[in-house]
Structure 1
Amino acid sequence: MFKKKTLSLSIAMIAALGSSYVAVAQEDQLEEVVVTGIRSSVTKALDIKRNNVQVVDSIVAEDIGKLPDNSVAAALQRVPGVQITRSNGEASGVVVRGLPNVVTTLNGRNIFTTTGRGVALADIPADLLQRVDVKKSSSASDIEGGVAGLVDVRLRRPFDFDGGLTVAGGIRGEYSEQSDSISPIGSVTVNNNWSTASGDMGVMFSVSSQDRKYMEHVSFNVAPDAVTITDPRSAPLNVADQPSLIPGVIGSYYNHGDRNRTSANLAFQFSPDASSQYYAEAFWIGYDSESELNFWVPLPSWGGFSGYVSEYKPGTNVAKTFVRDNFPGTISSNQAFGNESDTMQVAVGGQWEADKLTIKSDLAYTESQGKNRGFILDTAFFAEKIIYDFSAGGTGATDVSILNGDGTAFDLLDPSKYELWQYFDSRGQQDSDDISLSTDVNYSLADTGFTSIDAGFRLSQRNAKNNAADTGGRFRQNILFMSDYDGMAYKTPNDLLSSEVNLTTTQWLTPDRDYIYNNRAQIRVDMGYSAEEPEFLPGNFFDDQENNYAIYGKANYATEVAGMPLDGELGVRVVKLESKLNGFGVSTDVSSTEVLPSVNARLALRDDLYLRATAGKTITRPDFVQLNPLTNYFEPTDTTAATGNGGNPNLEAVESVNYDLSLEWYFADSSSLSATVFARDLDGYIQTYSEVEARNGREYLVSRPRNTGKGNLDGIELSYTQFFTELPGFWSGFGVQLNTTFMDGESESPITNKMQNLANVSDESYNAVLMYEQDGLSARLAYNWRSEFFLSFNEGGAQPGKSVVVKDEETLDFSISYDLTENLTVFTDATNLLNDPYKNWFGGDSSADESLYPRDIVARERTFSVGVRFSM
């Protein structure tokens, strides 16, 4: 594990790097070379990093176009210190230096999805981008709200193109291996710039569409229960006078679905003269998803643990094999969901220059709406005997044999054996909007040591509203079988985790998704509900309004220290928030003011060597859904214990004081070597914890977000980029990008008041990218790895450790393209070539816990695509 003493070692490494440049640096006379493609994009990204006084890493559009990535979220995993989370067959979330508290902006403006603080970066296609900037240090002029940093997505505008008409785009077919499907993905951009007597004008329109299918295979166990086994057939305990540890719920499911994303960007620019420029633009993201989880849950605990352990895991009382021969129940379920959202942002603005004064102003309106539906229909069957192997092939998956009394296999494909059991019906609607006005003023100074003064303000009003209906589980009113409904039975795929282990049972029946949806009124009646759609519940409602007022001032300076150029900025941002929260039985008014100072400094030790130091205070406000005062309590059922979940209206903003120190050596064109030490002093970091809460005489294990106490996150990033242009012939086309991050973070638990690890923080991660570009051929092989990390804390169960730990993860992606002509390129991409499964376990960060208390194993999608890009 990374320890704080690594920081002192890292500073020594930076000092060594600074003292070694003299021996290997070349003369500053560089030949001007025009480069394109991968190398051009890397050069532009390094120029942005080099010329910025903040700590910034960027991905430029040409770079994204060459990566086997479809979205901003997927592309960002190549950036030092950035890790991604994956779900439902794609990159879904972004974590910067171990923290998810990232501000997302679009062309410098705040943007969000429904009631969240940020936009779903997986929804923004890479095809529409100009570049993405990851700002890891703060500036007074940046929008507040990101303890971890700021991700600014820059879309193309008309003046980014050469004059005249431009038409460019691409289309690909993507094959998903586990879903055995081909998905169409395409985009097109049309731009036209022209000059008139009134000035230069440009109009651009881009549209992108993705219709992608996915499939994941999952096996899971809940935390084990402490069980006293009385059956005399049971194997002797390895540890006397102690109970057996057996998970009460185990199962598997196929997680599959179809996602459609359509995005459009329309922009107009007008420049009447060299001193002014105006724009109007609109951006829209549409998302529509239909998914289902085909569950199969053979329950060791159905009616109590009345069975026997035939084998224990060596040296423990943890059951390896458990046998029940008294007709235990098994649940088969289809959990079907539909989610859709529409996010739109329109903006107008401009820039004016007059002598020493520059003024920029932007007026924007953002609206995001979402709807979701959920249907869960459980069925049950009762075989005479079930054998549970909790360590199938040593993988962590549970293998289950379902048998008749004579030892033959139970017929899992007979719909007459499946009884309708429980039904859940839910729906929700989220509405959010924001209007903002910002103005930035820059005034140039002369002969003072300060080069300019920046000042500005931002005013915004954000509204977020949520409605939801959730019937909870309703047990069947009459004995009905799946065979009583013509067309209800759905046969699952038959290759569960086939890439990992050979399981006995891989196929079963569940209710069909389309049948449930098309016949939901009748099913509601048969299960004891009204035929009507469930009504929104007052307890699920919240309506929040935030008025945000921010002003800032920043002094930019340039001077010399010992003959070396020093530049940077000194700034402060003052933010006042007025918040009104209305929920079921709760109404609060909160007003707070935050003062956020920031300092950024860059010292040019040489023309190609920079020492950078930054410090600043940042905040992140809770998501609106986290502030929801509602708590849902769930009574115990055949498949679940008494649990609950809810929001926390008492959450406070997370505060952090951030420090960065970096040394960056740009030793050749398109090449660099850098080291960055960073530290975060956290206060009130928000994590989800589970705690037993009493209600009406029953105890529930309730999970909700809670502020932790004091915490810290320290680390170092190392990055190396080089193109080997000095090599002869074919070899001169090669290049590499290598980066690694070491981190150590902890915070004070609100449950135990003791220090513990931060969730989602890997101690180590690295990227290794091999690139080639020459004579129209471009290729990239990208490897990504992160070490194990804690997912959650204070879980229930009888295991010694109460955390959930995620196994280290690795991915390998590949892309290759060839320019048939100057305007036509063919390409092929592949993702997840290693097919590394996702695994986690209950307990602590030891390999023993991984094998003793496995929780999930997930086989993810592997994709292959072929396509063409064009420009005219």
Structure 2
Amino acid sequence: MPFEAVLAQTSQATDNKPETSQAPATGKKKTADGKAKPTELSVVTVTGILGSIDRTIDAKRYETAVVDTISAEDVGKFPDTNLADSLQHVTSVEITRDNNGEGQYVTVRGLPTDFTLATFNGLSATSVDLGVRTFDYNLVSPDFVSTLKVYKTSRADLDEGGIGANVDMETITPFGIGKERTVITAKGQGSPGEADTRYYPDLTGLFSDVFDDGKFGATIGFDWNKRAFLNQSSDPSPFYGVTINGKGPYYAYSETGYSNMESKVDTRTVYTALQWRPLKSTTATLTGFYAHRDSFYVTADNGVVPLEPFGAPSYNGPGADYSVDQNGVFNRLSVPVVAYTFYNTYSDDRATMKNLRLNVDTNVGNWEFSETAQYSKSSDTLEWMRPLLINSSVGGQTPTPNTPVYGGYQIYPGAPIQGYILDPSFNISDPSQWADQQFKNVTETGNDTIKSLQLDVTRYFDDGILESVKFGAKAYDRPRVYDYHYWTFAFQPGQTTYPFASAVQYPSWATSVLNGYGGPGARPSGLFFINPNLWLNQYFGGSLSNFRSNPQTVYYSNPGNNWNMIERGRDAYVMANFKFDGKVPISGNIGLRYVNTFEEFLYDSYNIADITFPPCHIGTAGCEGAIFPPISRQDTRGASHVLLPSLNAAANLTDNMVLRLGASKTISLPTIDSMVPVPAISVDSFQIAEGNANLKPFSSINYDLSWEWYFRPSSVLSVAGYDKQIHGFIQQGSTTQNIGGYTFHVTYPVNASNGFVRGLEADYKQSLDFLPSFWSGFGFEINGTFSDGQTDAAPQYNVVRTQFPGLSKKIFNATLFYEKYGFSGMMTLNHRGRYVFDPNVWGYNTTEQVANGRNQVDMHLQYGFTPNLTVFADCKNLFNTPIVYSEKLRNGPSTEYPGEWLLNGRTVMLGATLKF
């Protein structure tokens, strides 16, 4: 929700009455960014919407940098049940949702998710996502987060890595709460009206107290959040070029498919914070955060693959029924060369994050010392099993050999989903009619660890322009590990030893297709589910180990799928905080940060120059293909260093008007998948793709200008403009290499092109407390962003100019809230404009995927029977809005065709909070 504020490190009020926050008492010391620092904790922090808005406005007004914040309205009461959902209400913040419709990744000002740095209490956080830097905000329970800070301009004392922004998650502390507090919240959540809807709990407990006259404090908390989703989708694969009987080239979907998914997510979080103040000048804080998420899902997926084998470039034969539009795209295609596919995926993803942080702050005279040690580790284990059925008119794989089936698809103008063209002679819902059967098993494991030490020293000055000087250093080691394994079991033609038939089930979630979609088009009905666990129990004693060791099971091993990475960083910075008194007072900071990063990759591979070939042409009958040399352990290293200057200044034009300026250089480290130097070799197509460990960081020169008008209490109007000139975008370079007498095309990532993103953002908050009686409880917030951005062309690598994937040119949020007489409620509309999701789907170099504009409405209602007991109701995606994508030809006509269509449904939560 858009009620952002810094949660002051003081006592919390015990009721939800709107009150006026008191200004902090000021002493001679200053905070690290030059603001007045209270000698004693004397802020009265109130709960409720208006208190949160007041703290938001205060935080924005007295910062020198451009910072937006979101805070808990009370201890254990964050505005949303998902941190990403909360962040999307900050101006210029967009989120990417997972397959369940929950917020997962965050982008700021239209830049890729890798350009947003996530930190816990000021230090970089590890990622549970395998092989990437992007932070998954859906893992962390918000119940123990006090404040989210979005730093849109940089400071020298902030961790590097956020060209878009730094998002800092500050956790609650016992001294921050300031007294004994117990909070218990229980809710039930589900999707009413959907088939097989079940309601699951979200339970939170928190206890905090301060002992021994404020010398010692302890906070402990636990959250268990279990929820279920019934998702349905349509997802055609990208266009590729084909010819039919010598005509063309035309463009056809390589596959069209529909999917039903039942998903369950179980998240458990344990949080502890211990604080000790042995002296007034010294505070030690130990925080521990443990989060575990078990995401389980099962799917029933079916598809039609025209022009089988997959990706065939042409068809020459009878029976083709088709029509082509003005762009050369098949809007109807039915051919007797086709494959029907059906598979179930049974997946379990177990993600864990641990974060342990020890900080000691000491004040000695005008000096402040802060020492911090952090250990953070995230790990993820993904395992899935997939029974797969195929019925193809190629190779006699039909119930009646040599009797072809036909099939294809039909596009309907204006409809977001295409329909099937189905052969009535083939009963898709009868498992016995499927010919070819396979069973696949995949495991992916990885972990990401950070061990860091940081020292910060601040020297305060009593008089003069210079308010303080802050300097420090940081050292960290960050090892990563990734492993991938793949087993497949292919049934022989006519084999009956391990049939799927006895493992077939008919759960209601799997048997209907797109029952939430009322548009045109034929779709199969009466689908089924092959239970992989039941199949394993019947034939392999329920053991995957037995399945993997079966002589008929093939293990595919690519040495590049297993690698270790060690990243080491050594940083140092200095920052001066200044203030000029005069007719127009000006305050700010200027600083310089030095960043030195070293990467080392350890992986299993072979020397591609030592590949040999038998004396026959690759791909001819009887040719054995390539002969690979023995695998050995490889070691590849890369390094970079950079200086990052920054300047932030704020001018108080009047008592209630502020003008801010920011200028800085920032970096984001290269994406990990582009750095892994393991070659992927395709002998048949003479292709080699490999990473580049010597990639340099993305860098950006940033300028920000912000105007803010605090025209009355609990109200603000602000307008900001920004410009980022970004260098070093990663593009694909290419060369050729002669191996064993054959010429291979080699591609590799390089820092090849530049780009920019610029935009204008505005925010208007207002409480209507000046209205009479009942009406004085109303208020609203409206914010919006208009932005543009692109990567430049790199002709030397055949790269064209493209818009940033994920950049919506227009986004806005509108919230109406009410708080009075013990009642509290809000309704929020979030709009994200259309954006390019993938400029080159699957590398076909033909198809671009675009996400259509979308509105989502969320609602929260709450009533406090007493200061200690509150009941509430929440609804996410009130109007059950689907997520819709379109496909279009790259660099071609602007006509758009059906892409992915995903419906997650609405979620309703009912609960109560008891606090004392």
TM-score of the superposition, structure 1-length normalised? Answer: 0.86
Report the Cα distance in structure 2 between the residues aligned to 1:865 and 1:340, rounded to whole angstroms.
25
Instruction: Tell me the SS of whatever aligns to 1:446.
Output: coil
The reply on whether 1:113 has 2:132 as its aligned counterpart is no
* Alpha-carbon distance, 1:621 to partner: 1.0
CA offset digits 1:781-802 (Å, max 9, x no partner)? 1111121111222447999x64
| Aligned counterpart in structure 1 of residue 700 of structure 2, from 650, 656, 662 | 656
Q: Are 1:501 and 2:513 matched, yes or no?
A: no
- Mapped to 2, the partners of 1:690 and 1:807 lie a distance apart of 33
Measured against aligned partners, the alpha-carbon deviations of 1:765-811 in whole angstroms (never above 9, x if no partner) come to 11111111111111111111121111222447999x64222211221
Once residues 441 and 272 of structure 1 are traced to their aligned partners in structure 2, the CA distance between those partners, rounded to angstroms, is: 20
8 Å Cα contact 1:296/1:331 also seen in 2: yes
Alignment equivalent of 1:53, drawn from 45, 48, 64:
64
1:408-433 deviation line (CA, Å, top 9, x unaligned)? xx433322122343333221221332
Unaligned runs of 5+ in 2: 1-21, 24-42, 392-397, 606-633
Match of 2:478 among 450, 462, 482: 462
* Contact 1:464–1:624 (Cα < 8 Å) also in 2: no
Per the alignment, residue 167 of structure 1 pairs with 182
In structure 2, the CA distance between the partners of 1:287 and 1:36, relative to structure 1 (3 Å rule), is closer
**Distance in 1 (alpha carbons) for counterparts of 2:360 and 2:267:** 31
- The alpha-carbon deviation at position 320 of structure 1 amounts to 2.5
Contact 1:256 1:291 in 2 (8 A): yes
Q: Percent identity?
A: 24
**Could you give the per-residue CA deviations for residues 561-580 of structure 1, whole angstroms, max 9, x where no partner exists?**
5x111000010111112222
Give the residue type in structure 2 aligned to 1:293: T
Aligned counterpart, 1:246: 252
Matching of residues 824-863 of structure 1 within 5 Å: 824-843=869-888, 849-851=894-896, 853-863=897-907
Q: Distance in 2 between matches of 1:485 and 1:317?
A: 42
Q: What letter corresponds to residue 760 of structure 2 in structure 1?
A: I
Query: Would you say the 8 A contact 1:541–1:583 is kept in 2?
Result: yes
Report which stretch shifted further, 812-821 or 34-43.
Answer: 34-43
The superposition leaves residues 115-161 of structure 1 with CA deviations (integer Å, 9 ceiling, x where unpaired) of 54353211111222211000011100111111111000011111122
Moved more, 777-786 or 487-496: 487-496
In the TM superposition, what is the alpha-carbon distance from 1:629 to its structure 2 partner? 2.4
Change in Cα spacing, 1:844 to 1:137, as seen in structure 2 (3 Å) is farther
Aligned partners of 1:92, 1:694: CA distance in 2, in Å?
44
Q: Which amino acid aligns with 2:786?
A: F
Separation in structure 1 between the aligned mates of residue 858 and residue 890 of structure 2, nearest angstrom: 28
Q: 2:812 aligns with which of 756, 766, 777?
A: 766
In structure 1, which of residues 55, 60, 79 is the aligned counterpart of residue 90 of structure 2?
79
| Matching residue of 1:572 | 592
Q: Which residue does the alignment assign to 1:588? A: 636
Q: Structure 1 residues 187, 66: CA separation in 2 closer, same or farther (over 3 Å shift)?
A: closer
Do the aligned partners of 1:224 and 1:797 also contact (CA within 8 Å) in 2?
no
The AA in structure 2 aligned to 1:734 is: F
CA contact (8 A) 2:489 2:553 kept: no
390, 397, 416: which one aligns with 2:432 = 416
Secondary structure at 1:278 match in 2: strand
Aligned to 2:355: 345
Larger CA deviation: 58-67 vs 708-717: 58-67
Structure 1, unmatched stretches of 5+, are 1-28, 232-240
| Alpha-carbon distance between aligned partners in 1 of 2:45 and 2:285, rounded to the nearest angstrom | 31
Q: What is the distance in 2 between the residues matched to 1:712 and 1:524?
A: 51
Q: Distance in 2 between matches of 1:375 and 1:129?
A: 36
Find the counterpart in structure 2 of residue 377 from structure 1: 387
User: How far apart, CA to CA, are the structure 1 residues paired with 2:449 and 2:271?
Assistant: 19
What is the distance in 1 between the residues matched to 2:844 and 2:126?
A: 41
State the Cα deviation string for residues 477-508 of structure 1 (Å, max 9, x = none).
34347865522445523141523425432442
SS at match of 1:42: helix
The answer (yes or no) to whether the contact 2:361–2:368 under 8 Å persists in 1 is: yes
Aligned partner of 1:616: which letter? S
Separation of aligned partners in 1, 2:691 and 2:345: 24
**Counterpart contact for 1:67–1:815, Cα < 8 Å:** no
- The 3 A distance-change label for structure 1 pair 854 and 504 is closer
CA contact (8 A) 2:238 2:847 kept: no
Match of 2:204 in 1: 187
Q: Using the alignment, how far apart are the partners of 2:298 and 2:271 within structure 1?
A: 31
Contact 2:441 2:486 in 1 (8 A): yes
Task: Give the Å deviation of 1:685.
Answer: 2.9
Indicate whether 1:282 and 2:288 are aligned: yes
**Structure 2 partner of 1:3:** none
Separation in structure 2 between the aligned mates of residue 66 and residue 771 of structure 1, nearest angstrom: 17
Partner of 2:798: 752
Alignment of 1:360 onto 2:370: yes
Q: CA deviation at 1:705?
A: 6.4
Q: Which residue of 1 aligns with 2:410?
A: 390
Tell me, yes or no, if structure 1 residue 224 matches structure 2 residue 239. Answer: yes
Residue aligning to 1:722: 766
Distance 1:208 1:576 in 2: 39
Q: Which runs of structure 2 are paired with 1:7-18 in the superposition (5 Å)? A: none
- 1:108: Cα distance to partner? 1.3
What amino acid sits opposite 2:439 in the alignment? Y
Distance 2:416 2:320 in 1: 18
One of 214, 225, 244 as aligned partner of 2:229 = 214
Aligned-partner SS, 1:818: strand
**Partner of residue 865, structure 2:** 820
Q: What is aligned with 2:145?
A: 129
> Cα 1:192–1:521, aligned 2, differ >3 Å: closer, same or farther?
same
Number of matched pairs = 818
Is residue 274 of structure 2 the alignment partner of residue 260 of structure 1?
no
Residues 190, 228 of structure 2: 8 Å contact kept: no
User: In structure 2, which of residues 824, 829, 834 is the aligned counterpart of residue 783 of structure 1?
Assistant: 829
Q: Which amino acid aligns with 2:353?
A: T
Closer, same or farther: CA 758–53 of 1 in aligned 2, 3 Å: same
Distance 1:744 1:444, change over 3 A: same
SS in 2 for 1:44: helix
The Cα of 1:862 is off from its aligned counterpart by: 1.6
Q: For 2:367 and 2:770, how far apart are their aligned partners in 1?
A: 45
CA RMSD of aligned residues (A): 3.5
State how far apart, in whole Å, the 1-side matches of 2:445 and 2:325 are. 51
Residue 335 of structure 1 corresponds to which residue in structure 2? Answer: 345
CA distance in 2, matches of 1:866, 1:690: 57
- The separation in 1 between residues aligned to 2:888 and 2:784, in whole angstroms, is 28
Cα pair distance change 1:390/1:272, threshold 3 Å: same
| CA–CA separation in structure 2 for the residues paired with 1:291 and 1:863 | 18
| Pair 287,501 (structure 1): closer, same or farther in 2 beyond 3 Å | same
Report the equivalent of 2:573: 552
Q: 1:94 corresponds to which residue?
A: 106
C-alpha separation between the residues in 1 aligned to 2:222 and 2:162? 30
> How far apart are the structure 2 equivalents of 1:618 and 1:807?
31
2:594 counterpart letter in structure 1 = V
Indicate yes or no: 2:908 matched with 1:864.
yes
Give distance in 1, aligned partners of 2:162 and 2:638. Answer: 20
| Match 2:424 to one of 386, 404, 417 | 404
Could you tell me how far 1:846 is from its partner in structure 2?
Answer: 11
Which range moved further: 495-504 or 454-463? 495-504
Cα shift at 1:843? 2.5
1:559 to partner: Cα distance: 0.6
Q: Kindly indicate whether the alpha-carbon contact (under 8 Å) linking 2:383 and 2:444 is maintained by their aligned counterparts in 1.
A: yes
After superposition, the Cα gap between the structure-2 partners of 1:438 and 1:831, relative to the gap in structure 1 and judged at 3 Å, is same
Please say if residues 126 and 449 of structure 2, whose CA atoms lie closer than 8 Å, have aligned partners that are also in contact.
Answer: no
1:197-241 per-position Cα deviation (integer Å, ceiling 9, x unaligned): xx521111011111122232121222334444349xxxxxxxxx6
SS in structure 2 opposite 1:651? coil
| Cα distance in 2, alignment partners of residues 860 and 57 from structure 1 | 30
**Is the Cα contact below 8 Å between 1:385 and 1:404 reproduced in 2?**
no
Whether 1:323 and 2:331 are equivalent positions in the alignment is no
Following superposition, the deviation at residue 827 of structure 1 comes to: 0.8
Deviation at 1:53, TM superposition (A): 0.8
Per the alignment, do residues 436 and 328 of structure 1 end up closer, same or farther by CA in structure 2, a change over 3 Å counting?
Answer: closer
Are 1:713 and 1:746, in contact at CA under 8 Å, matched by a contact in 2?
yes
Deviation, structure 1 residue 524? 9.2
In the other structure, the counterpart of 1:431 is: 447
Q: Describe the SS at the equivalent of 1:221.
A: coil
